Structure 1
Amino acid sequence: MAQVKPLEGYSGYEYGQPPVTAQPQQQTNTTIIVNQQQATPQLRAWHTSLFGCFEDIPTCLCGTFLGFCLMCQVSTDMGESACVPCCVPTPLIPLRTKWRTQQNIEGSIMNDCLYVHCCGPCVLCQLAREIKTVKTFR
């Protein structure tokens, strides 16, 4: 059997396999953050209490006698459609929850539901007063 000589310039070259050449490796330093702590916003209390209706008599009267109109106004002031009171069942719950989460006000959805079902007009007036207060601070 005859011995096969490798081609010149290709040491260890065997038939059917390409030559292996060493590639220069680049070293990169990559930092991967696995757990990043996020700053939690500080929760605050409502500016007015739930039963603080006498702090704003016109809003209290509007909430008592023209509640639907006040709810349409509150909905519009929050950037929602004025039709929310017509189309959403128990519209004060999502409106109060939306405002509470946007403004970082303490509370929970369960509390929102309980307050709305037990003291709906007071919740509406509190929400209207709160929106009015926040808008004057801007």
Structure 2
Amino acid sequence: MANTVIVQQPTAAAVPDNQLMVTDITGRREWSTGLFDIFTNVEKSLLTYFFTPCYKYKLATRTGEGCCLAFCVTGAMTILRSRIRTIGGIRGSATEDFLVVSFCQPCAMCQMDRELDRMGVP
């Protein structure tokens, strides 16, 4: 009878640190349209400006969030902009998202809506 000598104990396979990341920290790309490209769809831009609560709801539901985020959470548009950046692998930062939404919310909402359209999010 032959004996088998074990010289190394089996171990769990190590998972590389970044294997679970969808994109790198900085993102892979820029926004597909500029913040002030509101004339690419004037109708949507006017609707966003005059019916802001409706567009907040629309953006929240398109990103998989509910109306509670759109209407009950402080900083909801910053959260949604960061979520869209994450989904799309877009470069940016939470600070940048906050500043853009704080100083130009209608333009930011239009840009977010255009980006979701380009990504094919229903």
Shorter-chain TM-score: which interval? 0.7 to 0.9
Q: Which range moves more in the overlay, 68-77 or 31-40?
A: 31-40
Q: 1:19 maps to what in 2?
A: none
Shift, 1:82, TM fit: 2.2
Would you identify which runs of 4 or more consecutive aligned residues in structure 1 move more than 2 Å?
23-42
| Structure 1 residues 84 and 38: CA distance shift in structure 2, 3 A | closer
Choose from 51, 64, 67 the match for 2:52: 67
Q: Of the candidates 82, 92, 102, which is equivalent to residue 117 of structure 1?
A: 102
In 2, distance between residues paired with 1:58 and 1:75?
20
Gaps of 5+ in 2: none
Name the one with the larger helix percent. 2
Higher relative contact order (CA 8 A, sep 6+): 2
After superposition, residues 1-138 of structure 1 pair within 5 angstroms as 25-28=5-8, 36=16, 38=18, 40-41=23-24, 43-135=28-120
> Does the 8 Å CA contact 2:37/2:111 hold for their aligned counterparts?
yes
Q: CA RMSD in A?
A: 2.7
TM-score normalised by the chain length of structure 2 = 0.79
Structure 1 residue 114: deviation in Å?
Answer: 0.6
Q: TM-score, normalised by structure 1?
A: 0.71
Identity of aligned residues (%): 30
How many pairs are equivalent?
Answer: 115
Gaps of at least 5 residues in structure 1 are: 1-22
